[in-house]
Structure 1
Amino acid sequence: MKILLVYSHPNPGSFNHAIKETIASELTVCGHDVKVRDLYAIGFDPVLKSTDFLLAQQGKVADDVKLEQDFIVWSDMVVFVHPVWWASMPAILKGYIDRVFTHGFAYAIDENGLRGLLSGKKAIILSTTGADEKTYTDTGMFKSIKLAIDGGIFAFCGFEVIEHKFLTSVPYVSGEERKKMLEQVVAVARTLAVN
C-alpha cells in the first residue's frame, strides 16, 4: 500500500516525533511504500492568501499546493500524526487542509450536491493530548474532535477514516507508559498488513 504520512509538530524531541518515526518504520517493515511530509521541516506555508483564491478561480493552485496534492493522489492512505492543541489540530496542519484540500480536488459541489473527491482513500489519525482520557471523555471532547476533524474534514472529502487513536496525558506519563503507547502505534501499523 502507498501511505503518505503527514506530520505536524515543531519539536524533533517530542513524543509526536517518536510516534512519527515508529509508525513510518513499522509501516515500512510491513512492506508498505511510505512517504513522509513533515510540515514544519519542509517549511509548508499554511497561510491561505488572496492569490490562492485568484488561482482557484482559474482552476489552478500554487506550486507548493500542487506538490502536496500530488502526494495525496499518489497515496492509498494518509496517516496524520499531530498533537491536540486547543481542541483541534495545530495551525500548520489546519492551514495545510485549507490550502491543499481545495474545491475541485478534495470536494465538489454541483447540481448533484456535495461530493467528496478523495473517495477510495483511507485515513488514520494519531493524536496526542495533554489532558487525561477521563477528562476528554467526560467533557465530550473526543466526540467533538472526531466530529469536526474525522467527519467535517476527512469524511467530507471522501476519506474512509479507519481509526482516530488518541494517546492521552503525554506530558505527565512515565517513560514506561510512553513505551506502551508506542507499542499501540506499532499495533495500528500491523493491522494494515492484513488490510
Structure 2
Amino acid sequence: MKHLIIYAHPNEGSLNHHFMQTVEKILQSKNQEIEIRDLYQLNFNPILSLQDMQGQRIGKVAEDVKQEQDYISWADHLTFIYPIWWTGMPAIMKGYIDRVFSYGFAYRYDQGIQKGLLTDKQTTIINTQGKSKSEYENIGMDKALSLTSDKGIFTYCGLEINQHFFFDKADKTHAETIEEWSTQIKNHFSK
C-alpha cells in the first residue's frame, strides 16, 4: 500500500512530530511505500493567489501544487498530522488544502451537484489540542471540528475517513499518556 503523510508542525520536538515518526515506523515495519510531505520543511507556500484561483478553473495549477497533487494521486492512504490551533488547522495546512485540493482535482460540480474526486483513498487524521475533550464538548467545538474538517473538506472531496484521532490536553501530557496514544496509532495502522 502507498501511504502519504501530510504533516504540519514547525517543531521537531513536538508531540505531532513524535506521532509522524510513529506512523512512519509502523508503516516501514510493514514494508509499505511511504512519502512524507513536511509542509514547514518544504516551506510550502500556503497563499492562494488570484493566479491560483484563475488557473484552477481552467485546470492549470502551479508546479508546486501539481507536485503535491501527484503525491495525492499516487497514494492509497492519506494521513494528515497537525495540531489544532485557534480551533482549526495551522495556516500552512489550510493553505495546502486551499491550493492543492483544487477544483477539477479534488472536487467538481456536475450539473450543479458537487462530486468528490479523491475517492478510493483511505484517510487518517491525527490532531493534538490544548483543551480537554470535555471543554470542547461543552461548547460544541468537538462537533464543529469534525464538521469543518471531516465533512467540509475531506469527505467533501471523496476521501474515506478511517479514523480521526483527537488527543487532548496535549501540551500538559505525561509520558504514559503519550505511550497510550502512540499505541492507539500503532494499532490503527497495524490493521
Give TM-score, length-normalised by structure 1.
0.94
* Correspondence for 1:91: 91
State the SS of the aligned residue for 2:82: strand
Q: Distance in 2 between matches of 1:59 and 1:177?
A: 46
CA shift for structure 1 position 79: 0.2
Which amino acid counterpart does residue 72 of structure 2 have in structure 1? I
CA shift for structure 1 position 164: 0.5
Q: Distance in 2 between matches of 1:162 and 1:187?
A: 13
CA shift for structure 1 position 7: 0.2
* Correspondence for 1:80: 80
Relative to structure 1, the CA distance from residue 115 to residue 16 in structure 2 (aligned partners, 3 Å threshold; closer, same or farther) is: same
* Correspondence for 1:106: 106
* Correspondence for 1:181: 181
* Correspondence for 1:47: 47
Q: Distance in 2 between matches of 1:102 and 1:56?
A: 6
Q: What fraction of aligned residue pairs are identical, expressed as a percent?
A: 41
Counterpart contact for 2:57–2:103, Cα < 8 Å: no
* Correspondence for 1:118: 118
State the SS of the aligned residue for 2:44: coil
* Correspondence for 2:152: 152
State the SS of the aligned residue for 1:118: coil
CA shift for structure 1 position 18: 0.3
For residues 113-169 of structure 1, give each alpha carbon's deviation from its aligned partner in whole angstroms, at most 9, with x where no partner exists: 111011111111000010112212222211110111000101000011111011111
* Correspondence for 2:8: 8
Q: Distance in 2 between matches of 1:19 and 1:70?
A: 24
* Correspondence for 2:172: 172
State the SS of the aligned residue for 1:42: coil
Structure 1: tracts of 5 or more residues without a match: none
Which amino acid counterpart does residue 14 of structure 1 have in structure 2? S
CA shift for structure 1 position 56: 2.4
Give the superposed CA RMSD: 1.1
State the SS of the aligned residue for 1:120: coil
After the TM superposition, which segments of 4 or more aligned residues of structure 1 sit over 4 Å from their partners?
none
CA shift for structure 1 position 112: 6.0
Q: Distance in 2 between matches of 1:56 and 1:133?
A: 38
